[in-house]
Amino acid sequence: MTSSSATVAVASDGTRRSRAKVYKPPKEFPEIEGVSVFLAGSIEQNKAEQWQDALTKHLEDLDITILNPRRDHWDPKWEQRKRNPEFAFQVEWELKGQRRADIIAMYFDPNTQSPITLLELGLFASTRKVIVCCPDPFWRKGNVEIVCDDYGITLIETRDEFFKHIYEKLKELEASKGVDRLSPG
């Protein structure tokens, strides 16, 4: 984990414990309390790096909810049609998660085409909660740059800077929501 000023919970036996709650499909996530982030972005099997695991580890000391759509057991043979209940559940889980999250962390892996991520950028660009990382040489970087400029979306060039930026934004939200919870009625 990269360095940060926050602390990680440590059990009595000295092991580290994550403060973050992580939900992945097919597990439903409950009503979210506190700050949340949805990990949108490249998942293409055998092409995309597993950046979601790395970002989750980077955020583990924050008291947040992480919605990670990358299933541990995805069957690429599933028919990708609405009539397939497994596929439909996955897509609905992702849409619901992005609507509910405070931040949508969107990563475009340069080794992928990521058509669904491009679709999701279009769907959620106007929400003011998307933060994008699109390193060179992503094949449609120009499109991503223009959409981000048009909607005032933060666009970050490197994965390390993206992780740091997401961490700081979540920490700011965590502090402001904590103040909101303490404020009288």
- pLDDT of residue 121 exceeding 60: yes
180: confidence class by pLDDT, cuts 50, 70, 90: low
Question: Minimal CA–CA distance to 8: which of 173, 128, 167, 172?
Answer: 167
* Within a domain: 173: yes
16: confidence class by pLDDT, cuts 50, 70, 90: low
* Within a domain: 178: yes
Percent of residues, the chain, with pLDDT higher than 70: 87
Average pLDDT, the chain: 89
Domain extent at residue 95: 9-182
Q: What is the pLDDT of residues 53-109, one digit of tens each?
A: 999 999 999 999 999 999 988 888 899 999 999 999 999 999 999 999 999 999 999
* Within a domain: 1: no
Q: What is the pLDDT of residues 148-162, one digit of tens each?
A: 999 999 999 999 999
* Within a domain: 2: no
Report which DSSP code applies to 75. -
The total of structural domains in the chain comes to 1
- Cα–Cα distances in angstroms (integers) from residue 158 to residues 110, 136, 139, 146, in the given order: 11, 9, 16, 18
Q: What is the pLDDT of residues 1-10, one digit of tens each?
A: 333 333 344 4
Q: How does DSSP assign 95-134, residue by residue?
A: HHHHHH-SEEEEE--TT---HHHHHHHHHHGGGS-EEEE-
pTM beyond 0.85, yes or no: yes
* Within a domain: 4: no
147: confidence class by pLDDT, cuts 50, 70, 90: very high
* Within a domain: 87: yes
* Within a domain: 25: yes
CATH of residue 111's domain is 3.40.50.450
pLDDT of residue 161: 99
* Within a domain: 170: yes
pLDDT of residue 130: 99
Mean pLDDT of the 10-36 span: 81
